[in-house]
């Protein structure tokens, strides 16, 4: 039985993804500061994504108590929305905390995930779908907007990480890497109201496909992947 690990698992995306994979027969491990995901047999692991140095210990515990994950979903995020007038008015400690959640901990998670992927491959336990790492992103790696300074910087760093892994570093391995980004049908971002079921459907589909798809996986609920133009700046939400 395969294992799926959801980091930064919350009541919306995390819950839906856990339920989707569990229904398909996966063992489920969820990690976050507090346990908000409910489900029989889901194993919870306390984890603070502002502390990337603890990531190896998290994966070690998941490996021991649940199994080596063949699917890892990184859903944690850090954002401290400032004011339009003072976009740089942020203490450096707060900046570092956001970057830890959005960039450093995703990097540390990929390091540990790939160790497990390699072990599963060596043992012949990956199966035809291979292994999958998915980072829940947004369109800030492609655009700019007010009040999103550290949020966008972190997402941009994570997007480059995923792009490099998918297209260069592991292009010849049965490992897949995705930057997930739910959009409205017109390509506009979700400022609020992300759909948990839409993420679950998209992420499960990506995990089951044996080949790497578009690393920047922009998707619309009910329609799947859709490629959108990259605006330089965000429009103000209506």
Q: How far is CA 80 from the centre of its chain?
A: 19
Place of tokens 């603890």: 54
Quick count: other Cβ atoms within 10 Å of Cβ 55?
23
Which domains does the chain show, CATH number per domain? Answer: 3-225 (3.40.50.720)
pLDDT at residue 98, rounded to an integer: 92
Contact 82, 146 (CB under 8 A): no
Is residue 216 within 8 A of residue 226, CB to CB? The reply is no
pTM score of the predicted model: 0.94
Q: Rounded CA gap, 208 and 162, in Å?
A: 18
pLDDT along the chain (238 residues), means of 10: 94 94 96 91 96 98 97 92 72 92 97 98 94 95 86 94 97 96 92 92 96 96 92 70
**Nearest by Cα to 73 from 161, 135, 29:** 135
Tell how strand 131-136 and strand 69-74 pair up: parallel
The pLDDT value recorded for residue 13 is 93
pLDDT of residue 237: 54
Return the closest-CA partner of residue 87 out of 143, 141, 147: 147
* Residues annotated catalytic, as ranges: 155
Partners of 32 in the β-ladder: 46
Q: What was the pLDDT predicted at 84? A: 55
């Amino acid at each position: 039985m395969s294992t799926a690990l959801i980091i930064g698992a919350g009541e919306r995306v995390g819950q839906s993804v856990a339920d989707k994979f569990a229904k398909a027969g996966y063992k489920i491990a969820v990690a976050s500061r507090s346990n908000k995901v409910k489900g029989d047999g889901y194993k919870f692991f306390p984890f603070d994504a502002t502390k990337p140095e603890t990531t190896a210990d998290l994966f070690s515990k998941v490996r021991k108590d649940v199994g080596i994950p063949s699917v890892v979903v990184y859903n944690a995020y850090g954002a401290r929305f400032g004011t339009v007038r003072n976009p740089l008015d942020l203490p450096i400690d707060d900046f570092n905390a956001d970057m830890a959640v959005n960039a450093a901990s995703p990097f540390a998670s990929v390091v540990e995930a790939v160790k497990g992927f390699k072990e599963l491959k060596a043992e012949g336990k990956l199966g035809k779908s291979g292994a999958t790492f998915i980072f829940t992103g947004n369109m800030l790696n492609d655009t700019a907007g007010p009040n999103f300074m550290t949020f966008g910087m972190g997402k941009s760093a994570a997007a480059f990480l995923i792009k490099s892994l998918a297209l260069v570093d592991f292009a010849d391995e049965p490992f897949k890497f995705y930057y997930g980004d739910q959009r409205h049908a017109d390509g506009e971002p979700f400022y609020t109201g992300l759909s948990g079921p839409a993420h679950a459907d998209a992420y499960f589909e990506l995990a089951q496909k044996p080949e790497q798809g578009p690393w920047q996986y922009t998707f619309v609920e009910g329609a799947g992947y859709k490629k959108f133009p990259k605006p330089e700046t965000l429009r103000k939400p209506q």
